[in-house]
Amino acid sequence: MIRWSLLIVIFGYFFSTAAKADYYIVLKDGKTEYNIESQFVEQFEDSTANLTIQQIFHQSFDAMFKPLGDNMLRNENRNSAYWYKFKIINKTHRGQQWLIESFNFRINHISFFLKTDSGFIETNQGDTFKFQKRPIGHKNFEFLLPYSSDTLTCYFRIKTKQHASFEIFIRRFDVFTSYAIGEYYLLGIFYGMIGIVAMFSLFMLLSFRKIVFLYYSLFLTGFGIFFMCQDGTGFQYLWPDLPIINSHSIFISRLVMLIPYTFYFCEFLEVRKKFPKIWKGMMIWILLRLSTVFIEDDNDFFVSILMYFDYVPFIVAYLSAIHSYRKGFKPALYFTIGFSVLLCAFIINSLRVACIVESNIFTAYSL
């Protein structure tokens, strides 16, 4: 009996030690980036959204931090502030600079706190601050890590009005620089191609005098603006001194993209002549969608309804193209193939924004 009791005590000791070790992220030579997965993170929901780091660090709050386990890092309650805690042990060479990066650039307020002997190092960022306030001129949020051979206790405070998931990485600075240069290079090619096709459509408009080319050019322009709002480059390059635009950028840019798209597919498929009822229905949709500009977009139910409402032009265009092709309009086949991909991408992006699927490179760049 004593033997079994001793085995249980020993097993319990090692199990608790292992469980505790899971909350340490160990940086080692030979590895250049780490995904801060949920099993390394402890969370506390501040329903008042008023607690300070001094209060949070107090011993009485330490037990209130709960392990996330396999749960996604996200804000279930938009009125609360969420605190996340994790620990880092740096076993790399002293000359290596590391940083923490948050991929979700649409967070309203994100604060990073690092415990030191003299207090806390505090860095505040968010899409409510001017872009020039960021320590690194990148569309995502980055926080530099000082070198220390001791264990670093890191805290994040996140407060944002929209539901959002958070993906956080630790990267070596040289790897981050290389990754950022490649990312901006590819984004430059992407936006350059959109700009070239939009300009070419305007030249086609001047040559053939068909308004369908104007609608297509406006749609591509709206699509480019919408995507710049999605990836953060819009704030960085178009309105860096006007963070107030960020609050409604996605909401408005969807409208700027969808209205020209609706006119484009109606003109291309000759909906007004062949399907007059569908034409009238789409004009009603445009009027209803324009009226939503005057409604606050901070209501969960309204945002959900609007997300599904924005599928209407895609679905109508898709079904109209199939019907037109069956009636002998051959160009509708290419329209159906091309915009099937766009519809799938739009669905994936909407699921990411609604936090139904996790935010990652694939879902963020699905469009």
- 152-159/109-116 β-pairing: antiparallel
Sign of the Cα pseudo-torsion (360, 234, 82, 22, in order): positive
Residue with tokens 């926080």: 143
Amino acid occupying residue 48:
T
SS3 category, 131 = helix
Amino acid occupying residue 214:
L
Mean pLDDT of 171-188: 95
- The pLDDT value recorded for residue 164 is 81
pLDDT digits (tens, 9 = 90+) for 226-251: 999 989 999 999 999 999 999 889 88
CATH class for the domain made up of 2-176: mainly beta
Q: With residue 161 as reference, give the H or E element that holds it.
A: none
Altogether, the residues listed in the chain come to a count of: 367
Query: Taking phi first (over 0 means left), then psi (-120 to 50 degrees means alpha), and beta for anything else, what does residue 2 get?
Result: alpha
**Bridge partners of 159?**
109
SS3 category, 101 = strand
Question: What is the residue extent of each domain of the chain?
Answer: 2-176, 183-364
Q: What is the DSSP string of 166-196?
A: --EEEEEHHHHHHHHHHHHHHHHHHHHHHHH
Examine the pLDDT at 88 and tell me if it is beyond 90: yes
| Higher local confidence (pLDDT), 306 or 259 | 259
Examine the pLDDT at 77 and tell me if it is beyond 80: yes
For residues 336 and 320, give the distance between their C-alpha atoms in angstroms, rounded to a whole number: 9
| Higher local confidence (pLDDT), 13 or 184 | 184
- The pLDDT value recorded for residue 19 is 44
Query: Taking phi first (over 0 means left), then psi (-120 to 50 degrees means alpha), and beta for anything else, what does residue 252 get?
Result: alpha
- The pLDDT value recorded for residue 62 is 81
Per the CB < 8 A criterion, the answer to whether 108 and 161 are in contact is yes
pLDDT digits (tens, 9 = 90+) for 160-171: 988 888 889 999
Give the model's confidence band at 136: pLDDT under 50 very low, under 70 low, under 90 confident, else very high. Answer: very high
For residues 64 and 68, give the distance between their C-alpha atoms in angstroms, rounded to a whole number: 12
Question: Residue 342: how many CA atoms within 13 Å on its side-chain side?
Answer: 19
Q: Lowest mean pLDDT of 66-70, 279-283, 348-352, name the range.
A: 348-352
Give exposure, 170-198, as e/b (b: 16+ Cβ within 10 Å). bbbbeebeeebeebeeebeeebeebeeeb
- The pLDDT value recorded for residue 339 is 80
- The pLDDT value recorded for residue 28 is 93
**% of the chain surpassing 70 pLDDT:** 88
pLDDT digits (tens, 9 = 90+) for 324-366: 999 999 999 999 888 888 778 777 777 766 666 666 666 666 5
Residue 169 structure tokens: 């990485």
C-alpha distances in angstroms, 177 versus 7, 75, 180, 197, 294? Answer: 51, 29, 5, 30, 41
pTM of the model: 0.85
Mean pLDDT of 199-225: 96
Sign of the Cα pseudo-torsion (175, 145, 244, 79, in order): positive
Beta strand extents in the chain (DSSP E only): 24-27, 33-35, 42-46, 66-67, 81-90, 98-102, 109-116, 119-125, 141-145, 152-159, 168-172
Examine the pLDDT at 10 and tell me if it is beyond 70: no
- The pLDDT value recorded for residue 37 is 86
